[in-house]
Amino acid sequence: MVFNSLAFAIFLPTVLVIYYCLHYRAQTFLILLASYFFYGWWDWRFLSLLWLSTVVDYIVGRLLDDPNALDGAKHAPEDPEHAPPPAEPRPESSFTRLNRAVAHHRKIVLTVSVIANLALLAVFKYFNFFVESADAVLQQLGFHSSIETLWIILPVGISFFTFQSMSYTIDVYRGKIRAVKDPLNYAVFVAYFPQLVNGPIERADHMIRQYDNPRVVDRDKIYSGLMLMLIGFFKKIAIADSVAPLVDEAFTAAQYGSWSLLYKGVCLFAIQIYCDFSGYTDIARGTSKLLGIELMENFQQPYLSRNITEFWRRWHISLSTWLRDYLYIPLGGSRYGKFNTYRNLFLTMLLGGLWHGANSTFIIWGGLHGLYLAIHKMMLGEKKPVDEPWRPWHIVKLLVTLHLVLLAWIFFRPGPVRESFAYLKGILTLRGVGGAKFQLSAFSFMDAATVAFFAGLVLLIDIPQYRRNDHLAMLKWSWPMRGAVIALMLLLLLIMGENNDIPFIYFQF
């Protein structure tokens, strides 16, 4: 089921009506049933993958749980003479005895979780890619291979829920959190429908306590939830879906299109993918607020960044922090010299590119961003990036950062690598109309006006949010101004919402 569908328009109000009539424990159970229904609407057979990941990681978490990791000496009394008498020993549960038995093999237990989750990704997402890559290498070496691929459908959201579930077992292993004892709460953590298929990739310490306690849904949460949903639908339907045909037209013309057509196409693609993905996050956060549950912010106006490091602090925050905590830091982070720091940044982003999809273009996209981050780190030296007050010359830094991001976006659309390079060549060589080798002509008026119009709609939302550092900045405006903007958004949704059946781009990841 997708947010921009009639099915969801019926599903959500039905769930909310029942939800508000229940006790919080029954509400949690309803969320789980609704989440399985939401995911199974697309293909019920893939619920088995969700259940497998849930069962394996719940059991692994319980086995890894070490009370001393969090409770330790910090709870000991400062004055031993006034310490309370020791409590009567309680009988050990079966899990406690099993935990003691595996205490010296915790890495093996964690490995079970990691392998189980990565195996799901390897089979359903990467198997054919690696088989085809190996086959191509063998043919280049003169061998005739007969390796067969599998006819596999990529399960929606598999990259998101496997990473989320895996982060939980790693955090339990590291002693950052205690294992979840309630299987219902853990099952909801893995399957929570607002963020199940497109994120954000949440952490257990943020979500479990919200499932474990009564939720309060007051007027402010309803207003803010509906406002976020309106912003999200506006981004997705009025902006992202409206530019989609223009983007497709440009990328289809990679081999022969003029540089102005191609440049317009990549600018609009940057707008499309941002509004598509951040729009989903806004709808997910708004839906979750109606349930009394808070989701993390996943985007903070990334195209207003003044360097590439800031861009990655603002773009897909849940993934960038996941890569930092579970890949970059374990690789060594910045602890072992400059060269290793640059290498770790590059490898992290390279694997981050592969996370997005089984295609060489994603690897190139990740490698470019890894190279950008390493070079920026090199330029900073020992200094740390800070958020400075805006100055007029910062516009230059913003434009440079934006064009580095645009260059990488060319490789983000799945397809043959040669098409992406042809697209890039068409822009860099200022290819003319009809394939002429060189044409130093400016943007046509219509091309510039199209990009400016859609960029203006994005800035209409992003600049107020950026200035107040608040995604709900519009709710703090006066009634006349707020009403006018909401009316404009609704009007544009009606006028521009013809292509409202286009799936979210990140569904393929």
pLDDT value, residue 165: 93
Is 376 in the active site? no
Query: What are the backbone dihedrals phi and psi of residue 444, each rounded to the nearest 5 degrees, phi first?
Result: -70, 160
pTM: 0.87
| pLDDT for res 72 | 40
Question: How high is the pLDDT of residue 475?
Answer: 87
Strands (E), 37-181: none
Measure the CA–CA gap between 380 and 309, rounded to whole angstroms. 11
Beta strand segments in 201-330, E? none
pLDDT at position 75, please? 42
Distance, in Å, from the CA atom of 239 to the CA atom of 89, rounded to the nearest integer, reads 63
The pLDDT, as a whole number, for residue 151 is 58
CA distance 179 to 254: 51
Backbone dihedral region for residue 180 (phi beyond 0: left; psi -120 to 50: alpha; all else: beta): beta
Percent of the chain with pLDDT over 70: 83
Between the CA of residue 499 and those of 4, 121, 243, 451, 496, what are the distances in Å?
10, 31, 10, 19, 8
First CA to last CA distance, the chain: 16
How do residues 25-54 score in pLDDT, each as one tens digit? 999 999 999 999 999 988 888 899 899 999
Q: Of 75, 82, 356, 376, which is the active-site residue? A: 356
pLDDT of residue 76: 42
Sites in the chain below the pLDDT cut of 50: 69-81, 83
With vertex at residue 344, the alpha carbon angle to CA 342 and CA 345, rounded to the nearest 5 degrees, is 65
